[in-house]
Copies of this chain bind each other. A is one copy, B any other.
Amino acid sequence: MRDVAVVGIGMNKWGELWDKSIRDIFVEAALTAIDDAGVDMLDSMAIGCMTGGLFVGQEHLASMMADYLGYKNLAASRVESACASGGLAFRTAFIEVASGISDVVLAGGVEKMTDVSGDGATYALATAADQEYEVFHGATFPGLYALMAVAHMEKYGTTRDMLSAVAVKNHVNGSMNPNAQYPFKISVEDVNNSVMVASPLRILDCSPITDGAAAVILTTVDIARKLGKPIIKIIGSGHATDTIALHARKDLTTLNATKIAAERAFKMAGKTIKDIDFAEVHDCFTIAEIVVTESLGIFAPGKGGEAAANGETSLEGSFPINTSGGLKSKGHPVGATGIGQVVEVVKQLRGEAENGRQLKKNPKTAMTQNMGGSGGSTLVHILEVA
C-alpha cells in the first residue's frame, strides 16, 4: 500500500441554503478543494450522502456530481453509512490511492436536508435506525440518544450541566468558524432552559438540520511533494459496525463500533490515544460527544462529562475536542459531516484555523471519529503532519 496525503480541502458555509440546489452545494465545496490542492486531473471521486432519495428525490448522485463538476466520465461512486457516509467516502478514497488504482481522488460529502416538509427530515434520518424494530414503533434519533443519556447518568452520575458544557464549548469554538451554521455563543443556562425534545435532551443538546458539503483531495505522498503543498498524511484508517438497533446492545453507555474502529486505526498507525493531540468527533447530541470521548479512550468510562465540564476538551484543554464547533455549532449535513471533520483537522495541522481557534500547542497528530445512526457504524482516521 502506498502512503497517502490530503493536499486540498474545501467546504462552504453550512446552514439553510434555500437558494442553492444539492448540485450547487457540492460543486462549490469540490471546486474549493480542487483549487486548494492545485490539481487539474482527478482519477476518481467518492461521495458520501446519506439519503438523497428521501431528502431530494435524487439517487445516482456521484454521476450527476461528476458531470456538474466538469469531470464527465470520471469513475465516481456514492457511498452510504448513514451519518458516517462522509467518513466512509474518505476511507474509500484512501484505499483507492493506497491500492495504486488511482493517483488523485476527491472524497466529498453532501446533504440537502431542508427541502422536505413536515416530519420529512425526522423520517429520513430515522432510516439510519432499524426500520422494522425501532422506527416502525415510533423511535426517532433524539429518543434513541436520550436512552443513552439516561443510562449514562444513571450509571456514572453524569449531570445536566455536564451535557450543557459540551454544547457551550462547541458553540465557543463554532463562533470562530466562518463556515458554521450557528456561529454564536450560548450559556449553560441557555441549554438547561431550552425546549425539551426527548428527556433529558433539550433542543440545545441537538445538532441542527443542515444543508452543506465538504470535499478533500487525496493523493500519494510522492505526488503531494511535487505539488508543493503541506503534506498531511493519513496514517490510520479504521472502520467498524455494530447492531443498528440500540436494543440489541449489551451496554448503552459505550460505543463498540467506535472502540473497534479506533483500535483498527491505531493498529495501522502504530499509535495510541496518547499520541493524538486533538480530535473532531461525532457530537450529534451532547451525550454522544461524552460517550465517544470515553469509547476512544481519551477519558476513562464515566469521566467524559466531567472532563467537558472542567474545560479539558476546550481549545486550551489537555485534549481539545471539536475545535470546528462540532456538529452542534458547525451544523450536521449528515453525508458531509465526516469530510467536514477532515477539513478542520487539516486546517489545524496546517496552522490555518481562522479567527483565533488555531490550537496554540502546534499540533502534529489528530483524529476524526464519524458515526452512523446511534453508533451502528464508525469511521476513525488518524492524520499527521509529514
Contact = CB atoms under 8 A, between A and B. Distances in A.
Contacts of A242: 63, 67, 72-73
Interface string A304-327: 000000000000000000000000
A114 interface: no
Copies of this chain per assembly: 2
Interface of A: 1, 21, 44, 50-54, 56-64, 66-67, 72-82, 88, 92, 95-96, 98-101, 123-124, 127-132, 135, 239-244, 248, 256-257, 260, 264, 372-373, 376-377
Given A67-B248, A98-B101, 14 more contacts: A21-B132, A50-B59, A56-B131, A58-B130, A62-B241, A63-B81, A63-B82, A63-B243, A74-B240, A76-B377, A77-B79, A78-B79, A92-B92, A99-B100
A52 B52 CA distance: 11
B244 A67 contact: yes
A92 B91 CA distance: 11
Contacts of A54: 53-54, 59
A128 B59 CA distance: 5
A233 to B, nearest CB: 16
Nearest to A66: B241
Contacts of A50: 59
Nearest to A248: B67
A73 B257 contact: yes
Nearest to A2: B99
A211 to B, nearest CB: 15
A131 B58 contact: yes
Contacts of A376: 60, 63-64
Nearest to A47: B80
Contacts of A256: 73
A74 B238 CA distance: 11
A96 to B, nearest CB: 6
A96 B1 CA distance: 11
A243 B60 CA distance: 10
Contacts of A127: 52-53, 57-60
A51 B124 CA distance: 12
Contacts of A73: 240-242, 256-257, 260
Nearest to A51: B53
Contacts of A243: 63, 67, 72
Contact of A1 (B59, B78, B92, B100): B100
